[in-house]
Amino acid sequence: MELTSTDRALVAAIQNGLPLTPRPYADIGQCIGLGEEEVISALRRMLDGGIIKRLGIVVRHHELGYRANAMVVWDLPDDGIDEIGRRFSGFDFVTLCYRRPRRPPRWPYNLFCMVHGRERPAVLAQVDRLAQSCGVTDAPREVLFSTRRFKQRGPVYAPGPAIEAVS
């Protein structure tokens, strides 16, 4: 979908988030000369069109007690990877699942999924469950736990979208 100039003004107005007020859409509208209904319908259109993935919150998983943050990478056959990716993404402990290019010879992995848990052993057991669920226990894989977080935030640029974490 194409963004209208109204959409762009709205995106810019809420790039740092929605107002924490009882009528947030009316308050945004007042800043950019739109009515409450116009703001709601423009946001609805951008949600339906996939420009906005969702409206809500981003939490810092670490602060919620999810101290074990693993990026699990797999070297899977290209012809079966879609089915496996879909199955992995159905597990509630998998928070993100992407197919990415291999970078041979040093990086043979083509499926990435994030598994967050409170403790490392639990995360490793969940990774085993994933492998067993798809019969890929023999496929090469590695579990990369994060050891430090340097940055976690949306990017800063105008008209500044915040994006979902992809790592």
Partner 1 sequence: MTDGTNGGTEPALDPVIDDRDRAIINGLQGGFPLTETPFAVVAEDLDLHEDEVIDRVAAMLNAGVITRFGPMYHAERMGGGLTLAAMKVPDVDFEAVAAIVNALPEVAHNYARDHDFNMWFVIATESAERIPEVIAEIEAATGLAVFDMPKIEEFYIGLRFEA
Residue 133, CB-side half-sphere exposure with 13 Å CA sphere: 15
| Spatial separation of the C-alpha atoms in residues 158 and 113, rounded to whole Å | 30
- The nearest distance, CB 147 to partner 1, in angstroms, is 5
> Is the bond preceding 161 in cis, omega lying within 30 degrees of 0?
no
- The nearest distance, CB 24 to partner 1, in angstroms, is 7
- Nearest one of 119, 110, 112, 108 to 144, comparing CA atoms: 112
Give whichever of 78 and 138 is closer to partner 1, judged by the CB atom. 78
CA–CA distance from 101 to each of 49, 73, 80, 81 (Å)? 27, 12, 15, 12
- The nearest distance, CB 153 to partner 1, in angstroms, is 4
| Spatial separation of the C-alpha atoms in residues 140 and 102, rounded to whole Å | 13
Give whichever of 23 and 129 is closer to partner 1, judged by the CB atom. 23
- The nearest distance, CB 160 to partner 1, in angstroms, is 8
| Spatial separation of the C-alpha atoms in residues 104 and 91, rounded to whole Å | 29
